[in-house]
Structure 1
Amino acid sequence: MIVRDIKDTLGTADEVTTETWTSRRVLLKKDGMGFSLHETIIFPGTETHIWYKNHVEAVFCIEGDGEIQTVADGKVYPLRPGVVYALNDHDEHYLRGGKEPLRVICVFNPPLSGREVHDADGVYPAE
């Protein structure tokens, strides 16, 4: 059994911060679960270009506000507590923070190893 407290990731290698978000990586590839689990905070007023060519991701919004816009069709989806979105088709998109920090729980398959950040195309590298 694995039992972890999110607070134990703070200030460690399992907390990754960029200009637009902080990701606290709670379960990773090394844990052998077949997926990774993260708490991510999207900073207010920011925009991140994302295109997971090598992963699928499900996201559960639990606090704050923001929006996601898909590149293929330009659709904009408001994000608020209770909204779930799944990038099941490797959807290229923009993730925007709103007025308040957006707190989400993310699940990735295949699992992340822990230090990934988006490259110039918005991609996390393949393992």
Structure 2
Amino acid sequence: MIVRNVNDVIGTEHEVRTDNWVSRRVLLKKDGMGFSFHETVIFPGTETYIRYANHLEAVWCVEGDGEIETTADGKRYALGPGVVYALDQHDAHYLRGGAAPLRVICVFNPPLRGDEVHDADGIYPASIDTAEA
């Protein structure tokens, strides 16, 4: 059994921060669950282009506000507590922080190693072998 507290991730190498967000990676590829599990906070007033070519992601919004806009059709969706969205088609999109920090719970398949950040094309790199992680 794995039992962790997200507060124990804060300040470690598994808390990844950019100018737009901070992600606390609680379960990772090395945990052998077949997915990774994260708490992420999107900072107010930010915009991040994302296109997960190598991963599927499900996101549950639990606090704050924001917006997601799909680039293929320009559709915009308001984000707030209780909203879930799933990037089941590797959907390219803009994730925007609203007036308050947007706190979300994320699941990735395949799982992340824990150190990933988006490249210039909004992509996380493909996962490497567990032996290399």
TM-score (norm 1): 1.00
Residue 28 of structure 2 is matched in structure 1 by 28
Residue 60 of structure 1 is matched in structure 2 by 60
Residue 114 of structure 1 is matched in structure 2 by 114
Q: Residue 73 of structure 1 aligns to which amino acid in structure 2? A: D
Residue 130 of structure 2 is matched in structure 1 by none
Aligned residues: 127
RMSD: 0.2
Q: Give secondary structure in 1 for the equivalent of 2:8.
A: helix
Instruction: State the percentage of identical aligned residues.
Output: 74
Please give the per-residue CA displacement for 1:81-124, whole angstroms capped at 9, x wherever unaligned.
Answer: 00000000000000000000000000000000000000000000
- 1: distance between equivalents of 2:10 and 2:29? 19
Residue 95 of structure 2 is matched in structure 1 by 95
Q: Residue 37 of structure 2 aligns to which amino acid in structure 1? A: L
- 2: distance between equivalents of 1:54 and 1:10? 26
Residue 13 of structure 2 is matched in structure 1 by 13
Question: In the TM superposition, what is the alpha-carbon distance from 1:44 to its structure 2 partner?
Answer: 0.1
- 1: distance between equivalents of 2:5 and 2:125? 27
Question: In the TM superposition, what is the alpha-carbon distance from 1:21 to its structure 2 partner?
Answer: 0.1
Residue 104 of structure 2 is matched in structure 1 by 104
Structure 2 unpaired stretches of 5+: 128-133
Q: Residue 116 of structure 1 aligns to which amino acid in structure 2? A: E
Moved over 4 A (4+): none
TM-score (norm 2): 0.95
Please give the per-residue CA displacement for 1:42-100, whole angstroms capped at 9, x wherever unaligned.
Answer: 00000000000000000000000000000000000000000000000000000000000
